[in-house]
């Protein structure tokens, strides 16, 4: 038996060494599954962003090759945007940037509104599923449909909003969408409708994961109402709140479809946002200024990058603390 064991040991010692892949299989396998997604992300996201940076340095009408039909102007497009080096600042760009900031601030109202509706719907009462479906409905319909519905809602003569406000003696000259002072706010309200529904869904999912033992312990300690919400419920809804902030801010910065459907940037260009201004300068009949449009797109990307970097850093810190 001793000789047999020595023979088996000698055979195992003579086995060829494992290859590099076998030695690193556990570490390599996840990257093999991620490789297709990473490849698509690089080709269809990173590469176009890099091309936009390069295109913004040219004066190009989009016809032919940029190296032959375009003129390299360096930072001239950015000088025109911001009024640097003696250039006159682009008034349309300033209006678009200011409107994006208004979208960014007011769009965040969807988060507390979604939380309030989620708390209201998180009850075991008769017919609650029907109410949840009605509140969920705006999220599943197209943004084009939302824009058309609110356009009819705001009609200056026979729109429901005009009729109701008329009962209270309020009248907006030209209607909500026809008045430069109210048009942007009317579009933002239209955008808040489906965005609030999305935030509501996030919070309803989060409320289902709330620890009932913590809630019961807080009740025994005398916590209720706002104290219960602030100190017990909201801390457990932090992941849902984080996702709601990310999606809402990105949605506010890339708001294009509602502006295009409801006003087309009017009246008098008062509802333009940066994404719509990119479209105007590149693809519209007044466009064919692809280099200039790329410069606007780069500014919009950098604004988004600030918020995205902050959110990624926050996620990294949370995971670091969790470890």
pLDDT in tens, 178-189: 999 999 999 999
284, 292 contact by CB (below 8 A): no
Lowest-pLDDT range of 93-102, 104-113, 171-180, 188-197:
171-180
Convert the pLDDT of each residue in 271-294 to its tens digit.
999 999 999 998 877 778 999 999
Architecture of domain 93-287: Orthogonal Bundle (1.10)
CA atoms of 259 and 241, how far apart (whole Å): 27
b/e sequence 307-316, b meaning 16+ C-beta within 10 Å = beeebeeeee
Q: Is the pLDDT of residue 94 over 80?
A: yes
Q: What value does the mean pLDDT take over residues 42-51?
A: 91
Taking each continuous run of H as one helix and of E as one strand, the counts in the chain are: 19, 2
**pLDDT at 174 (0 to 100):** 81
Per the omega criterion (within 30 degrees of 0), is the bond before 267 cis?
Answer: yes
**pLDDT at 183 (0 to 100):** 94
125, 132 contact by CB (below 8 A): no
Q: How is the chain split into domains, by residue range?
A: 25-89+289-300, 93-287
User: Predicted confidence band at 297 (pLDDT cuts at 50, 70, 90)?
Assistant: very high
pTM: 0.84
247, 237, 296: which is closest to 96 by C-alpha?
A: 296
Residue 20, classed as helix, strand or coil, is helix
CA atoms of 246 and 254, how far apart (whole Å): 12
Give the single-character DSSP code of 16.
P
185 exposed, middle or buried (CB, 10 Å; 0-12, 13-18, 19+)? Answer: middle
- Percentage, residues of the chain above pLDDT 90: 38
Q: What average pLDDT is seen over the chain?
A: 85
CA atoms of 253 and 275, how far apart (whole Å): 8
Question: What interhelical angle do 183-208 and 110-121 show, nearest 10?
Answer: 40
């Amino acid at each position: 038996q001793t000789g047999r064991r020595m023979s088996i040991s000698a055979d195992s010692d003579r086995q060829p060494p494992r290859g590099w892949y076998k030695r690193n299989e556990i570490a390599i396998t996840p990257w093999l599954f991620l490789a297709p997604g990473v490849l698509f992300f690089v080709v269809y996201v990173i590469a176009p962003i890099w091309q936009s940076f390069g295109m913004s340095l040219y004066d190009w009408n989009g016809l032919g090759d940029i190296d032959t039909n375009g003129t390299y102007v360096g930072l001239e497009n950015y000088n025109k945007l911001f009024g640097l080096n003696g250039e006159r600042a682009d008034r349309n760009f300033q209006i678009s940037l200011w409107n994006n900031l208004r979208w960014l601030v007011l769009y965040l109202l969807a988060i507390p509104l979604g939380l309030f509706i989620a708390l209201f719907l998180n009850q075991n009462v008769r017919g609650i599923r029907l109410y949840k479906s009605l509140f969920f409905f705006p999220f599943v319909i197209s943004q084009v449909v939302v824009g058309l519905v609110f356009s009819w809602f705001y009609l200056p003569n026979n729109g429901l909003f005009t009729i109701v406000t008329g009962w209270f003696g309020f009248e907006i000259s030209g209607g909500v969408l026809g008045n430069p002072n109210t048009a942007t706010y009317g579009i933002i309200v239209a955008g808040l409708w489906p965005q609030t529904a999305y935030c509501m869904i996030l919070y309803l999912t989060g409320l289902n994961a709330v620890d009932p033992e913590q809630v019961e312990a807080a009740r025994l300690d005398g916590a209720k109402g706002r104290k219960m919400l602030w100190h017990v419920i909201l801390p457990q809804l932090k992941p849902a709140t984080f996702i709601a902030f990310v999606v809402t801010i990105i949605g506010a910065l890339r708001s294009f479809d509602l502006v295009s459907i409801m006003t087309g940037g009017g009246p008098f260009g008062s509802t333009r946002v940066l994404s719509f201004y990119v479209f105007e300068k590149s693809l519209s009949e007044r466009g064919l200024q692809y280099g200039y449009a790329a410069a606007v797109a780069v500014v919009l990307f950098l604004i988004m990058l600030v918020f995205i970097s902050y959110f990624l850093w926050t996620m990294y810190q949370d995971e670091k603390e969790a470890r």
